[in-house]
Structure 1
Amino acid sequence: MRKIIVCTFLTLDGVMQAPGGPDEDKQSGFEHGGWQKPVDDDEVGAAIGGWYEDFDAMLLGRKTYEIFASYWPTADPGNPFTDRMNSMRKYVASRTLTSLDWQNSELLQGDAADAVRKLKESDGGPISVVGSGDLAQTLMRHGLVDEYRLTIHPVIIGTGKRLFADGAIPTALEPVSVTTTKGGTVVGVYRTNGEPSYDSY
């Protein structure tokens, strides 16, 4: 069975909204777009590059798809990610899009959770969920996430969309690898492991 792996850049207080630029996502009046680059470092880039070597496909929500599709097809061919992003299979969950122009993109049909269950049962390798906060919430609620790959950066934003928002399903996590870069970013890989256990001191 294929694994669904959520890959997300987070602030220390858990915000995932608009890491890439000021105009990336201003929903709900968000004013902190572009928070990632000032606290990024080469080790983070190397870790993310390693993650992408594992992936067979990406699973994207509408907003992240549109951001990526407006950038990667004409991105610098010297960027090592450009060819990978363009050539990789993209599955898109959207209630409003009817066609997709970015190469190797496929619109999921019907209910997103049902469509992702079928994807998990198909042949192929791991599928990454990049950004796509609303879609990630849906997948988490339906128990469809197998692993989280997170970069937790040393900055506090205070407002914005969070990956683990109110109402997140309690989930036990098994650390696969956790390191800290020279710039203070925590790079963590965590596998879902059923429900949390509880005890007291």
Structure 2
Amino acid sequence: MDENTEIWRKYYNKAMSRKNSPRTEWAVQLNTSGLNVAVDCGCGTGSDIAYLAEQGYRVHGFDINPDAISICRKRFRHDALIEVSEASFEDFTYPTAGVIMANSSLFFAEPYVFNNAWRAITDSLAVGGVFGGDFMGVDDSWADGFRLATTPLTQTQVMDLFENFEIVRFHERNEEGSTSMGSIKHWHTYSVLAVKRGI
């Protein structure tokens, strides 16, 4: 077992007891698209999937990590409203959706596919639909030389992604803090909640 696999398994074991993100609840409340279809990008162990399904959404979750998908397939095996796939940002086939969540996952989109992946996300989001997610800033400890590929962005670059959106919440975090595994790092992130406008 390589180091990355072991680290992810420890992370997922801790994440199993995690509640859904409050941002996912806000996204559901803001969705005026009329579509009860959601995508959870980098779904992990499925806490946001579970919440979205409880709200009556048909949920498509994907993650590049096979351990995460194995957990979700077992967890949701009896729920016909949930479909999970082992996929990356660039090869997932996005359905037309009213809610798309990318909580702490777009950090790890490969830089050379980030723009295409973002285009696929925004093209599949219906007008009145909601995107919620996080982006890595350039001052983050993981922005350079991390064990996984990351796509760090400046604030201007993040804002430019939302040209056709109404941004409801934009929060920058730039501080020392602990990871979910308890180690200390410098966090620099941009968290966004935004509603897609008609063009």
TM tier, shorter chain?
A: 0.3 to 0.5
Question: Normalization by structure 2: what TM-score?
Answer: 0.39
- TM-score if structure 1 supplies the norm length? 0.38
